[in-house]
Amino acid sequence: MVKSPPDPSSFSLPGALRQEGLTQADYEEIRRRLGRDPNRAELGMFGVMWSEHCCYRNSRPLLQGFPTSGPRILVGPGENAGVVDLGEGQRLAFKIESHNHPSAVEPFQGAATGVGGILRDIFTMGARPIALLNALRFGPLEDERNVGLMEGVVAGIAHYGNCVGVPTVGGEVAFDPSYSGNPLVNAMALGLMETEEIVCSGAVGVGNPVMYVGSTTGRDGMGGASFASAELSAASLDDRPAVQVGDPFLEKGLIEACLEAFQSGDVLAAQDMGAAGLTCSCSEMAAKGGLGIELDLDRVPARESGMSAYEFLLSESQERMLFVVRPGSEEALMASFRRWGLQAAVVGRVLADNVVRVLREGVVAAEVPASALADDTPINRHELLSEPPAAIQAHWRWSETDLPVAAAEGITPASGPLAGQPLSWGDVLLRLLDDPTIASQRWVYRQYDHQVQANTVVPPGGADAAVVRLRPQQGEGALAAASRGVAASVDCPNRWVALDPERGAAAAVAEAARNLSCVGAEPLAVTDNLNFPSPDTPTGYWQLAMACRGLSEACRVLDTPVTGGNVSLYNETRRPDGSLQPIHPTPVVGMVGLVHDLDHVTGLGWQAPGDRLWLLGMPLAGSAEDGRLGLAASSYLESVHGLATGRPPLTDLSLERAVQGLLRQGIAAGLVASAHDLSDGGLAVAAAEACIASGLGAIVELPSGAGRLDRLLFAEGGARVLISLKPEQEQAWQELLATSPPPGPAPLATPIGRVAESATALSFEQDGTNLLSLAVEELRTSFEDALPRRLAATD
């Protein structure tokens, strides 16, 4: 029996519902499920468990379309992280998660605790974290607030990751005005399983002790999950107490102690306390196990005195976990945690009844059927527009013929900040390299320890994907040479998604797989982070639905099932005039792949003068009218002509498959000296980046009569990769090519030039006419200075 007052008159119901992000209809449903009125603590439990963050109440029907199984998938969606089989007895846990709202309000701690949270998801499964990546989005750096947010976020990620001793090996950063005031901070972690059994979260064994380990429980982070499920406004700054404070030192000990504990075999189930803290972990463990949990708050290690049951239940204090353990093992387990300076206490037991019962000072403070909290959670039904919104349709009517003439000398934009200024193609390329989204991210990644654990094979910026050697840190194999690796990439072409969510999301998957293929890795599986504005508007829901459709289709064709991820909605800021600024819909795709032989890992920079250049994917000649490639929605169009418009190219998934397969075969055969995918800025930017990475120049020959020059240089799309080969390997390469049938009439690869023998300049030529020639140093200056110049004085 619930003894604390269930009487709703003891608190203001409308206020409490607003605070918990619940509707009146939710309240009626809660009453129906309980058969009575909930008390305040119980209402708080429903508030977090029924938030988008915890139960996907808007996106769940859409997520059901994802392919989630495959021969290598050991754990799919629903657990703390996905797990894939790498063969040879090795298994990889991985997941991505957002910390957008906390980072908007308190960038340093918001980002730091985002890293801490995703690491816990990994080691809760019994895996030691071996790598971190992150995908970040900010508003333009011309606005000082965005500079402050970026500095804080990067410093926060660095603080946590560097201290906890997990290398941050890769990631991406992009900028758009839609992210002003609502930055995106998505952190991805990879871990190598160290336990025989994957540790799952469902409670087992009636009467078994429930143990609490890690840090103490305080008042920090109250209601973070509900907070993360609402839009941001100036008043959000008052929500700072909803942002938690992280302690990476404590987490370091927690990783070691948890992995030790799991290896003992005495931990039967584990759940980290992330969003909604004790409430969420108890409810999920109970619901997944089909059993109940009794939790005595008096035994929970508290950081401060006088906390109410409500505060205990909803605290999001960091670095905490809940275990179900084997009876009799409690003392040994607790001693091991104390050795690492951590809290450990038995705080409850597993019940036969499927309830979460919370005791406080000897009375029942809350008692809710676990299934009422965690099963059949409410779904917000939305109607899907039958055709694209009018504004999108208007964008799709844009055509390249609307642009000014592209002459051999260059172009004079008719729109944007450069309107009326004649630009050479060299001017255009330098401008693109200076675009913060394209430019070198060295300012960011040099703040991350990317080498700790001594397995980082490719430094950030050295290749299209991060590569980490699969040498365990602990136990058998830690001191043995290892020849295999895991590759990872995070990608999202958000401008494309904004202009066509289905095509953009498919392109995100294709690009992630292409990036992995460029280093020679076989793509295995996906974790996705859906960062979207409110789904409550017709356009918002259409974006979410179409992006899920594109993502599902691409994952299916490329054989990369989705093993889980995160949904972050209501990413929008309220402008002073009261209107809402939604972000670009940003479905970030985190993908992992297997490197079978580290000897063949391929970087993006040229390797030797005189090497031959080949373009994989759609050839330049004959592509003039093809919608799979173009200037629509391109970086060139936005950066040079001030236009974010057009319909982004259609991703040809069968061409992607064929190109990536050929590339991986060529790399495995040792034929490919360098490989770099064509992304923002197209061919010219890809070639420039390969020059900058190597210090070597290149000469690229463009075919004649192949359409607009700017399209040849800067078009995006077309499943394209620029590779270089030693001249003596060219014949073997052509033989391989001959045995790889393309899905269409065009060949899968065409020769387009060579690495310069002596000149340290990048040149583009057509019919003997030089269109562009720039010294590599000049390219490097634009590329490397873009971020430091804007982030100014401090570094």
Partner 1 sequence: MTIGVVVFPGSNCDRDVRWAAEGCMGIPTRFLWHEERDLSGLDAVVLPGGFSYGDYLRCGAIARFAPVLEEVAWFASRGGPVLGICNGFQVLTELGLLPGALTRNSRLHFICEPTGLKVHPGACRWLSDYGEAEAISLPIAHGEGRYQCEPATLEAMEQSGQVVLRYQNNPNGSVGDVAGLCNPTGNVLGLMPHPERACDSRTGGLDGQRLFASLLG
Residue nearer to partner 1 on the CB measure, 189 or 276: 189
Q: How far is the CB of 665 from partner 1 (least distance, A)?
A: 23
| Helix axes of 40-49 and 24-34: crossing angle, nearest 10 degrees | 110
CB of 795 to partner 1, least distance (A): 5
478 forms part of the interface with partner 1 (CB under 8 A): yes
DSSP notation for 178-224: GGTT--EEEEEEEEEE-SSSPP--S--STT-EEEEEES-B-STTTTH
Q: Which of 108, 398, 448, 570 binds partner 1 (CB under 8 A)?
A: 448
* Interface with partner 1, residue 321, by CB under 8 A: no
- Does 449 bind partner 1 (CB under 8 A)? Our answer is yes
Smallest separation (angstroms) from partner 1 to the CB of 168? 9
3 state SS for 721-742: EEEEECHHHHHHHHHHHHCCCC
Answer yes or no whether residue 480 interacts with partner 1 by CB under 8 A: yes
Please report the DSSP string for 129-165 in residue order.
Answer: EEEEEEEEEE--TTSHHHHHHHHHHHHHHHHHHHHHT
Under the criterion CB under 8 A, does residue 235 sit at the interface with partner 1?
A: no
* 451 contacts partner 1 (rule: CB under 8 A): yes
Question: Could you tell me which residues are beta bridge partners of residue 700?
Answer: 753, 764
Whose Cβ is closer to partner 1: residue 445's or residue 496's?
A: 445
Rounded-to-integer distance, Cα 602 and Cα 607, Å: 10
The catalytic residue positions are 53, 99
Q: Which stretch binds partner 1 (CB under 8 A): 104-112, 155-163, 667-675, 773-781?
A: 155-163
3-state secondary structure of 520: coil
Q: Where are the alpha helices (DSSP H) in 558-633?
A: none
What is the footprint of partner 1 within residues 590-609 (CB under 8 A)? Answer: 598
Verify binding: residue 253, partner 1, rule CB under 8 A: yes
Instruction: Tell me the window of 162-170, 405-413, 650-658, 732-740 that interacts with partner 1 (CB under 8 A).
Output: 162-170
* From 136, 163, 403, 672, residue interacting with partner 1 (rule: CB under 8 A): 163
**Shortest Cβ distance from residue 183 to partner 1 (Å)?**
19
Among 149, 457, 547, 713, binds partner 1 (CB under 8 A): 457
Beta strands per DSSP E along 352-458: 355-360, 363-369
CB 162 → partner 1: shortest distance, Å?
Answer: 6
User: According to CB under 8 A, which one of 164, 285, 351, 551 is a site residue for partner 1?
Assistant: 164
Stretch that binds partner 1, among 46-54, 156-164, 272-280, 421-429 (CB under 8 A): 156-164
Distance CA 670, CA 563 (A): 32
Which residue is associated with the tokens 């392919």?
67
Q: Please identify, among the stretches 248-256, 330-338, 699-707, 723-731, the one whose residues bind partner 1 according to the rule CB under 8 A.
A: 248-256
* Strand pairing category for 612-616 and 572-574: unpaired
Return left, alpha or beta for 130; rule: phi > 0 is left, psi -120 to 50 is alpha, else beta: alpha
3-state secondary structure of 237: helix
Contact between 337 and 261 under an 8 Å Cβ cutoff? The reply is: yes
**HEC assignment per residue over 761-790:** EEEEEECCEEEEEEEHHHHHHHHHHHHHHH
| 249 interacts with partner 1 by CB under 8 A | yes
Q: Does 162 bind partner 1 (CB under 8 A)?
A: yes
474 binds partner 1 (CB under 8 A): yes
- CB closer to partner 1, 473 vs 665: 473
Which residue reads 């005791």 in tokens? 359
Q: How far apart are CA 191 and CA 93, in angstroms?
A: 5
Cα three-residue angle 67-69-75, rounded to 5 degrees:
120
Residue 795, interface with partner 1 (CB under 8 A)? yes
Smaller CB separation from partner 1, 155 or 736: 155
Q: Considering the complex, state which of residue 598 and residue 692 has its C-beta at the smaller distance from partner 1.
A: 598
Size of the site for partner 1 (CB under 8 A): 39
Nearest-angstrom CA–CA distance, 182 and 586: 12
Closer by beta carbon to partner 1, 26 or else 194: 194
Question: Is residue 155 involved in binding partner 1 (CB under 8 A)?
Answer: yes
- Closest CB 160 distance from partner 1, rounded Å: 11
Residue ranges that bind partner 1, judged by CB under 8 A? 155, 158-159, 162-165, 247-250, 252-253, 340-341, 445-457, 469, 471, 473-474, 478-481, 598, 794-795
